[in-house]
Homo-oligomer: A and B are copies of this chain.
């Protein structure tokens, strides 16, 4: 491993080179520029690069001159990431190189196979995104409070890992460290499987009569929200993590086949128990999802307040809840068809629940508990 610049403790000094000025690369540039770190940008599309420069994400790479980058961030599409990382390791022999692709093991394996100097390479995955893409949609605060997984390979040097962690921390993300395999298994389950289940469900709606869809409630809306995701990106993500995803899908298929068998003969002995087990196992899995701010799963107490659907009503409600002195942990608007009454579902700490209901009733709000 060659010597390379390190940054002491905690913060990047730069210069940082960002290769790929799409949504994420440009957002990284903007965030680092906001901290005063010198950033140099490069993109195969001259237009994308010019836009990223124009909105202040950094200078064109030509301006780097003979300076040695502290860090090179490869923000290329997943399917070319390994090649671009290998090239960057060769082009910048004294710099740390990280990538930000959402699947990690395949890239590491490809670099190991290519004999690259991977002591200076660390794979990372910032779990942030938007519906929009491209540099115009970039925001320096995109990573604030979002998870950013750092996945050192067995060859990564401690200093390179520290530099990668500093990038994430400087941009306000919550840093965690996984092996590439652990990461890919985790996202297969918490990110890729939800996308697949949502898409499989939503695709069933294609031929439905519209009067049936008029009965859609929050359940359907929730489960299908991420079905609106970008096909191009997801082809690369699912293709890049195919092995881990398919392992999980075998289990889903087994459960689905059992359910189909049960529903084909719903009066058979044991059928009811089978159905109860499916729902109960879902209860048990759902209860394990961590609570807000990464805390343990917490049973918040929910209440529902009816409001007129016009400007200012929800603000008025929340202002009064603030006056009552209760913190709202979560909030949902409940949509209903055909009438202009809205329901606001609020979750609060259980010990505030009864007090809040009483206080809201006193103030004339219609509370469903």
Q: Which residues of A are interface residues toward B (Cβ below 8 A)? A: 127, 130-132, 137, 139, 141-142, 144-147, 149, 172, 174, 176, 178, 182, 185-187, 189-191, 193-206, 208-217, 219-232, 234-235, 238-239, 242-243, 245-246, 248-253, 255-257, 259-260, 263-264, 266, 271-272, 275-276, 278-290, 292-294, 302, 306, 309-312, 314-319, 321-322, 325-328, 330-333, 335-341, 343, 366, 368-369
Residues on B with C-beta less than 8 A from A279 are: 195, 199, 227, 229-231, 234-235
* A205 CB to nearest chain B CB (Å): 3
With A190-B216, A245-B263, A315-B318 given, name 9 new contacts (CB 8 A). Answer: A132-B369, A191-B217, A200-B259, A201-B282, A203-B278, A205-B286, A219-B225, A246-B260, A293-B336
Residue of B nearest to A176 (CB): B214
- Rounded to whole angstroms, the CA-CA distance of A162 and B339 in the bound complex is 21
Pairwise interchain contact B289-A216, C-beta atoms closer than 8 A? yes
Name the residue among A172, A246, A251, A284 with the largest chain B CB count within 10 angstroms. A246
| 23 residue pairs from A and B, CB less than 8 Å apart | A141-B368, A186-B212, A191-B215, A191-B220, A194-B219, A194-B223, A197-B201, A198-B282, A200-B259, A205-B285, A206-B281, A206-B285, A214-B294, A216-B290, A225-B286, A239-B275, A242-B264, A292-B335, A294-B338, A310-B327, A311-B322, A315-B315, A331-B331
Pairwise interchain contact A202-B286, C-beta atoms closer than 8 A? yes
Residues on B with C-beta less than 8 A from A315 are: 315, 317-319, 321-322
- Rounded to whole angstroms, the CA-CA distance of A228 and B302 in the bound complex is 14
Residues on B with C-beta less than 8 A from A310 are: 327
- Rounded to whole angstroms, the CA-CA distance of A250 and B256 in the bound complex is 10
* A223 CB to nearest chain B CB (Å): 4
From the candidates B214, B276, B284, name the one contacting A203 in the complex (CB within 8 A).
Answer: B284
From the candidates B137, B190, B255, name the one contacting A212 in the complex (CB within 8 A).
Answer: B190
- Rounded to whole angstroms, the CA-CA distance of A319 and B251 in the bound complex is 48
Interface of A is mostly: helix
- Rounded to whole angstroms, the CA-CA distance of A343 and B147 in the bound complex is 14
Name the residue among A187, A279, A290 with the largest chain B CB count within 10 angstroms. A279
- Rounded to whole angstroms, the CA-CA distance of A226 and B145 in the bound complex is 26
- Rounded to whole angstroms, the CA-CA distance of A40 and B326 in the bound complex is 39
Residues on B with C-beta less than 8 A from A340 are: 293
- Rounded to whole angstroms, the CA-CA distance of A337 and B292 in the bound complex is 6
From the candidates B226, B275, B282, B306, name the one contacting A238 in the complex (CB within 8 A).
Answer: B275
- Rounded to whole angstroms, the CA-CA distance of A147 and B212 in the bound complex is 12
Pairwise interchain contact B338-A174, C-beta atoms closer than 8 A? yes
Pairwise interchain contact B306-A141, C-beta atoms closer than 8 A? yes
From the candidates B260, B318, B326, name the one contacting A250 in the complex (CB within 8 A).
Answer: B260
Q: Do A217 and B127 contact each other (CB < 8 Å), given the known contacts A185-B212, A283-B228?
A: yes
Name the 8 nearest CB pairs between A and B, nearest first.
Answer: A199-B282, A294-B337, A315-B318, A205-B285, A186-B212, A145-B336, A203-B281, A312-B322
Residues on B with C-beta less than 8 A from A202 are: 281-286
From the candidates B130, B213, B242, B293, name the one contacting A290 in the complex (CB within 8 A).
Answer: B213
- Rounded to whole angstroms, the CA-CA distance of A216 and B249 in the bound complex is 18
Pairwise interchain contact A255-B200, C-beta atoms closer than 8 A? yes
Q: Do A200 and B330 contact each other (CB < 8 Å), given the known contacts A142-B368, A186-B211, A249-B256?
A: no
Pairwise interchain contact B235-A275, C-beta atoms closer than 8 A? yes
* A214 CB to nearest chain B CB (Å): 6
Pairwise interchain contact B282-A235, C-beta atoms closer than 8 A? no
